[in-house]
Chains A and B, each alone.
Chain A
Amino acid sequence: MLNKKAFFNVRLNLLIRRLVGYVLLGCALSLLFVNFARSQGEPFVSSKAVSQYLEIASNRDTFYIAIHFRIQPDWHLYWENPGDSGLAPVVNWGGSRIFALSPLEWQLPEIIKVGPLVNYGYSKELWLLYEVKLRQPVTKGDLLEFVGKVEYLVCKEDCLPGEANLSLAVKVSDQDKISSDYQFIQQAKDRLPSYFQEFETRANLVGDLITISITPPVRLSDPYFFPRDQGLVQNLSEQQFSIDQNRLELRLPKTLNFSETIKNINGLLVGFDHNKERKGYVISAPLMRSEVASDNKLPFAAVELSTSANQYGALTLLFFAFVGGLILNLMPCVFPVLSIKVLSLVKSQGVDKQKIKAQSLAFSLGVIFSFMIVALALYVARFFGAEVGWGFQLQSPRVIFVLAILFFVLALNFFGAFEIGQGLQNYFGKLRYDSQGILGSFFSGLLAVVIASPCSAPFMGVALAGAILSSPFFGILIFCSLGIGMSLPYLLIGLVPQVARFLPKPGAWVVTFKEFMAYPLLATVLWLITILHKQSGFEGVFLLLIAFCVVIFVTRLSRDAKAFVNLINHILFLIAVLLLVFFTYLVGDFSFVASIESKISNQESLWRQFSAKSVSEELAKGRSVFIDFTAQWCITCQVNKRLILRTDYIQELFLKNNVTLFVADWTGRDPEITRALEAVGRNSVPTYLFIKSQGEDPRLLPSILTQGMIEELFK
C-alpha cells in the first residue's frame, strides 16, 4: 500500500515536473521567437560587452570597457553619421552610483560605397569604447555591474535591424587582473582619432564649396573628411584635396539642403601616416562664410557679432544708409561746398520757382548718380578679385593727390582768387560750368560726392558693409539711399517752397561767409597732406607743393582777354595740366617706400603690426587681444586714437590686463586686413575688436569710443 502510494506520488511528481518543464520550455521558445522577430540581424552580427580587467584594484579609478561586434563578411554596421542611408548603433546603459561612463568613443569609419550612395561604417569587427570613471571609493569585494542594450542596423545590400542585451561584471579585489580582451581594447584605443596639437584648422564656405584647410599640412596620404553631422557635405566616395608646404586643403561640395544656421564643421580627417597606418584627427572648425578664397583666416572667423551687419534687416540697413548720407552734409570736407550750393539756390530765390526745383532735382540726381558709380566701381573691382571696402579710393596716393589739389582749388575759389565762371570757362569752351544751370547743378552733385568720399560717417560703416556682403543689387540700393539721404536738404528746398523761405536773405554777408568757409577746405587739404605723407613719404608732399604752385599760376592766367595773350594762356594751361597729370602718375611710385617706413614706426610703439598669425599666437599664449582697424584718412579713427586709445591711462589699462595691442593700418591697400574686417562682418574703419581669450567670442566696439567703453571690457 505504502509502496503503491509512494509510486503514485512519484508519478504525480514526475508529471508535475514535466508539465512545469514544458511550460518553461514553451515560454523560453516563445521568448526566443519574440527576440528573433526583433533581432533579425543576429546571424550576421554578434555583440558582447567586454572589459579591460576582470578584476580591478580598489585604488584604480578609471578603465575601459567595450562592446565588441563581430560582423559577417560583406555585412556592415554604421558610424555615428551613417552617410546617405543606414543607422548608427544606439546603446543604452543602465545608470550607476558607483561609476560614470564616458560618451561612446567611435573607431575610425570606412567608406562603404553602395551604387550611387556612400555610407560610413564598419566591416568585419567593431569595438565601441567607453571609459569608466569611478565616482566613489570602492573596496574589495564590490561588484561593478554594467547592464545595457544595443540596437543596431546591419546591412549587406539589404538591411536588418538587430538588438542585444549587454551585461558585464567587474570585481574589485587586491590587484588588477586583465582580461583576454585587454590588448584588443588597448589597440582599439590606440586607433581612436586624436586631437590636433600644433595645427590650425579652418573651414570656409565659398559658393557651393566648403574648404577645410590645415596649417601646417598634417602628414597624411589619401586624406578623407568624414563629416560628423548629416547635411554638411555631399557624401562622395572620393574627395578633392591638395597639399603644399603651407597647408593641406580639402574642397568638398556642400549639400543641397545646407542650412544657413550651420556654424561649425565637425568631423574626422582620416588618412594614412608614414607607416601606412590608418590615422584620424578630430576636426572642429567654425565655418566662415566669405566670397574670398581662404588664406590667412582669423581664428575668430565665423562668430556672429552683436553689431555685425548681417544682423540688421534690409530696411534697417537702408535707413542707416539714408541717415549716414544726411550726416555726410555736416562733415568738414562737405559742409563748405554744400552750404555754398544752398546759398546759390537762395540767390536764385527771386528767380523762377520752377527753375529752383529743376536745379535741386538735378543736383540730387548728380549725387545719387555718382553714388551709383561708386557702387558699380566697387563691385567691378571686387568682381576682378580686388579686395576693397569703403574708403578704398583713399588707399591710392594718386587719388589723395588729386583730391588735395581739388580742395586747394576750391579754397582759392572761395577766397575769391578766381571765378570759375569766368576763368576756367575759357578753357572748357562748350562744356560750360554754369553753377546756376541744370547741367551745372548735376555736376556739382557729382563733385559733392567726390569731396564727401574722405568722410565716412559713423552710420555708414555698417550700412556699407551690409551692401558689400549682400547681393550687388541690394548694394546699389544702399548706395542709392545714401545719395537720397545726402541730397535730402536740397530736395526739400527745391520741392517744398516753404523750406526755402526759412533760409536767410542773400546779401553782402554771403561773400564773407564764403571766405570763412575756405578755411575748413584748407584744413581738409592739410589733413590730406598728412595722409599723402604716410602713403608716399616726403617726395609725395614735395610734389604736391609744386602742384599747388602750378595751380596758383593757372589761376593768375586768365586776367587778360587779348587774343595773342589768350593763345599763350591756352598753351601754358595745357602744359600746367600735363604737369599735374605727370605728378599724379609719379606719386604712385613712392608708395612702396612709405609702407616700409610706416611698418618700422609702428613696431616701435606698444602697438604691434596686425597679422592673423600673430593674433592667433598671442591668443594661444593666453593673452587678450585688442585690434584697432584704422586708416590715416579716417577722421573718426584719428579722433579715437588721440582722445582715447593712445592716452596714458588707457595704454596702462591695457597693459595691466594682459592685452596685446594690434594696429591694422588700412591707409594703403592690404588684403589681409580687408579679409579680417570681412570676417567680423565689417567693411570700413574704424572697427575695434576685443578678444578676451582664445575661443571666446570677440567683441566689437562702437565706432565712436569713450573711456568708459574700454574700462567696461575689463569688468
Chain B
Amino acid sequence: MKKQLLTLLFSLLVWPLAVFALDSKSAVGQPAPDFSAVDLDGKNVSLSDYKGKLVVLEWFNEGCPFVKKHYESNNMQKLQERYATKGVVWLIINSSGEGKEGYKTPAGHKQTWQNWGIKATNFLLDTPGTIGKLYGAKTTPHMFIINQQGVLVYAGAIDSKPSTAAKDIPGATNYVSAALDELLSGKTVTVASTNAYGCGVKYAS
C-alpha cells in the first residue's frame, strides 16, 4: 500500500517533467526534412545518405556579389577544406530557376567549381527550387547545419557582417565555423539562428 502510494507520488512528479523536455517551436531544433537531388555527374544524392554525420547546406549562386565575396576571397573554400578534414559533409545547393541568374548546365557549374577551387563534398542541382523552399532558403549564401542526429541546429547567415566587400570578412564572426566547432567538441550551438543576408535566391517562380 505504502509503496504503491510512493510510486504514485513519484510518477506524479516525473511525468510532467518528461513532457516539458519535448517542448519546442522553431524550425531550428526540429528534424531536418530529407531531400534528394541530382549532382553535377547526374548521380542521385539524398540527405539520408549522410546519416550520422554533420552536414552543411550552402545556397549558391555564382553571379551573386555576396557569394563572390566569400569565394573570391577564398574564405568559403578554406572553410570547406578545414571541415572536410574533420568529417563534415558540405553540400552546395543551387536553386536558380532556368534562365535566372546563377543557372548553369552541369558543365558550366563544373567550370566554376574548377575556377574557384571549390572544396565542398558535392554540388546539388535544385532547379525547381523544391529543396530551397523546403528549407526556407532566402538568400545566397544561406547556411544550414544538420547534426549527427539529423536535427537542424543552425540556420542563417555565414557571418555577422552583411556586405559585399571582402575587407569585412576578417572582422566578422563566422557563425558557421563557430557552430561547427561547438558541434565537433560535443557542445550545443550557442547562436542557432541568425538573419541570412545576400542576394535573393533566384527561384523559377
Whether the pair B16, A157 counts as a contact (CB closer than 8 A) is: no
Interchain CB contact (< 8 A) of A151 among B13, B27, B136, B165: B165
Of A1-9, A276-284, A472-480, which binds chain B? A472-480
Interchain CB contact (< 8 A) of B200 among A115, A230, A258: A115
Interface string of B146-166 (1 = CB under 8 A from A): 000000000110000011110
Q: List chain B residues, Cβ under 8 A from A84.
A: 138-139, 200
Residues of A within 8 A of B (CB): 40, 84-87, 90, 114-117, 119, 151, 153, 155, 157-161, 230-231, 256-258, 357-358, 361, 365, 368, 372, 471, 473-474, 476-477, 480, 484
Whether the pair B2, A358 counts as a contact (CB closer than 8 A) is: yes
Whether the pair B5, A159 counts as a contact (CB closer than 8 A) is: no
Whether the pair B199, A155 counts as a contact (CB closer than 8 A) is: yes
Which residues 47-64 in B have Cβ within 8 Å of A in the complex?
A: 63-64
Q: List chain B residues, Cβ under 8 A from A153.
A: 65, 164
Residues of B within 8 A of A (CB): 1-2, 5, 8-9, 12-13, 15-17, 19-20, 23, 26-28, 63-66, 97, 100-101, 133, 136, 138-139, 155-156, 162-165, 193-205
Whether the pair A256, B26 counts as a contact (CB closer than 8 A) is: yes
Instruction: Jot down 20 A-B pairs with beta carbons below 8 A, ordered by A.
Output: A84-B200, A85-B196, A85-B198, A86-B199, A87-B66, A115-B201, A117-B138, A117-B200, A151-B165, A157-B202, A158-B199, A161-B164, A231-B195, A256-B26, A256-B28, A257-B27, A257-B156, A357-B2, A365-B5, A368-B9
Q: What is the distance, in angstroms, from A115's C-beta to the closest C-beta of chain B?
A: 4
A298 to B117, CA, bound (A): 59
Q: List chain B residues, Cβ under 8 A from A230.
A: 195
A138 to B5, CA, bound (A): 88
Q: List chain B residues, Cβ under 8 A from A357.
A: 2
Whether the pair A87, B197 counts as a contact (CB closer than 8 A) is: yes
Q: List chain B residues, Cβ under 8 A from A159.
A: 64-66, 199
Whether the pair B202, A85 counts as a contact (CB closer than 8 A) is: no
Whether the pair A361, B199 counts as a contact (CB closer than 8 A) is: no
Output the nearest chain B residue to A362 by Cβ-Cβ distance. B5
Whether the pair B65, A161 counts as a contact (CB closer than 8 A) is: yes
Whether the pair A257, B28 counts as a contact (CB closer than 8 A) is: yes
Nearest first, the 6 A-B pairs at minimum CB distance are: A85-B200, A257-B193, A473-B16, A230-B195, A161-B164, A115-B203
Whether the pair A471, B198 counts as a contact (CB closer than 8 A) is: no
A372 to B9, CA, bound (A): 12
Interchain CB contact (< 8 A) of A474 among B20, B27, B138, B202: B20
Q: List chain A residues, Cβ under 8 A from B66.
A: 87, 159
Q: List chain A residues, Cβ under 8 A from B164.
A: 87, 151, 153, 161
Whether the pair A117, B155 counts as a contact (CB closer than 8 A) is: no
Whether the pair B12, A480 counts as a contact (CB closer than 8 A) is: yes
Q: List chain A residues, Cβ under 8 A from B163.
A: 87, 90, 151
Whether the pair A258, B165 counts as a contact (CB closer than 8 A) is: no
Whether the pair A157, B101 counts as a contact (CB closer than 8 A) is: yes
Output the nearest chain B residue to A234 by Cβ-Cβ distance. B136
Whether the pair A86, B16 counts as a contact (CB closer than 8 A) is: no
Output the nearest chain A residue to B19 by Cβ-Cβ distance. A473
Whether the pair A476, B100 counts as a contact (CB closer than 8 A) is: no
Q: List chain B residues, Cβ under 8 A from A86.
A: 199-200
Output the nearest chain B residue to A483 by Cβ-Cβ distance. B12
Output the nearest chain B residue to A372 by Cβ-Cβ distance. B12
Whether the pair B5, A474 counts as a contact (CB closer than 8 A) is: no
Interchain CB contact (< 8 A) of A368 among B12, B97, B138, B196: B12
Whether the pair B5, A361 counts as a contact (CB closer than 8 A) is: yes
A84 to B136, CA, bound (A): 10
Q: What is the distance, in angstroms, from B118's C-beta to the closest C-beta of chain A?
A: 21
Q: List chain A residues, Cβ under 8 A from B198.
A: 85
Interchain CB contact (< 8 A) of B100 among A87, A157, A471: A157
Q: What is the distance, in angstroms, from A209's C-beta to the closest C-beta of chain B?
A: 13
A144 to B20, CA, bound (A): 64
Interchain CB contact (< 8 A) of B13 among A87, A119, A471, A477: A477
Whether the pair B201, A117 counts as a contact (CB closer than 8 A) is: yes
A484 to B9, CA, bound (A): 9
Output the nearest chain A residue to B192 by Cβ-Cβ distance. A257
Output the nearest chain A residue to B8 by Cβ-Cβ distance. A365
Output the nearest chain A residue to B138 by Cβ-Cβ distance. A84
Q: What is the distance, in angstroms, from A258's C-beta to the closest C-beta of chain B?
A: 7
Whether the pair A257, B5 counts as a contact (CB closer than 8 A) is: no
Q: List chain A residues, Cβ under 8 A from B8.
A: 365
A116 to B8, CA, bound (A): 53
Q: What is the distance, in angstroms, from A466's C-beta to the closest C-beta of chain B?
A: 13
A361 to B1, CA, bound (A): 10
Q: List chain A residues, Cβ under 8 A from B17.
A: 477
Output the nearest chain A residue to B163 by Cβ-Cβ distance. A87
